[in-house]
Structure 1
């Protein structure tokens, strides 16, 4: 029987703009540098000015997208949803189960429902995995070489479930939510 799960809040307009902006910013920058600014400024000054404007635009867009993303994720935590990554620490080394899998988890009444995410802006897809009988085993030290699937500020919590040991990596708000629902 497939478990249903809440959908996370959709990305805002600044988040979408940042994700989609990389190609068109580069295209517009090359166009402006080679056609409009090359004649009056020369080659190198036009390239330098274009790169500076592109960097400034990207930084402003990233700042707007980051604040919008943090607000969206906090709204999700209030609904019981966290952005996280999970792995099975007792799986065979090198197996797919021993790798981190990013997604969203719904934490509610001593259970975790996890659904993986594919792509940076993708919505959760795939089957929902349900873990019950949560018991907290505390925080786990981060590995020396942080996996690419984990975000910079995330911490790892060891959780005991009805299906065995589980490690959940998430931010502070997610860890707080997990600790409230684990015994």
Structure 2
């Protein structure tokens, strides 16, 4: 039987609105600009429309960020983290040497990782299971941050039954990993 992991909490309505809003905000901006153009003129209507779009986007982004942080904490309490993994000893340029985003369930010293398909997609693909976790500590971020890693993520080097593994995740994920790795080899 194939291993399964818990499903992540679904994105909230503000998170969905932020990722899906680009087209309808642009369309709404064009409509507002054309309505205001007759009374204000071309350039003032464009400036006011851009200001309204930026203000709307900032408000929605702020609501989405708070919603996302609450979702991440909820998932971490359930033992589920959003992360990216890679195999540091893989051949350079191979697919295994690249970062792969997904979700990992950390429970009883075992990491079950399932890759993520798309930004808002759900985890898909085969679950990879890593056990016998031992911490090697935190690694420095590369000079050029890979696109798969989010800004606030840190990278932890972990020894597993299948070889060395690098896991990049946020603070909640790091504390969860630290709680399930062998404490004799070093903290995160």
2:55 matched to which residue of 1? 56
Superposed CA RMSD: 0.6
1:2 matched to which residue of 2? 2
Structure 1 residues not aligned, in runs of 5+: none
2:33 matched to which residue of 1? 33
1:34-59: CA deviation from partner (whole Å, max 9, x where unpaired): 2x111000000000000000000000
2:13 matched to which residue of 1? 13
- Tell me the SS of whatever aligns to 1:94: coil
> Whole-Å Cα distance in 2 between the matches of residues 156 and 2 of structure 1?
28
2:89 matched to which residue of 1? 90
Please show how residues 84-163 of structure 1 align to structure 2 within 5 Å. 84-163=83-162
1:79 matched to which residue of 2? 78
Structure 2 residues not aligned, in runs of 5+: 183-188
> Whole-Å Cα distance in 1 between the matches of residues 95 and 31 of structure 2?
44
2:186 matched to which residue of 1? none
Q: How many residues align?
A: 182
> Whole-Å Cα distance in 2 between the matches of residues 125 and 51 of structure 1?
38
Name the TM-score, length of structure 2 as normaliser.
0.95
How far is the alpha carbon of 1:172 from its aligned partner?
1.1
Name the TM-score, length of structure 1 as normaliser.
0.98
> Whole-Å Cα distance in 2 between the matches of residues 172 and 12 of structure 1?
21
2:43 matched to which residue of 1? 44
| 4+ aligned runs moved over 2 Å, structure 1 | none
How far is the alpha carbon of 1:119 from its aligned partner?
1.3
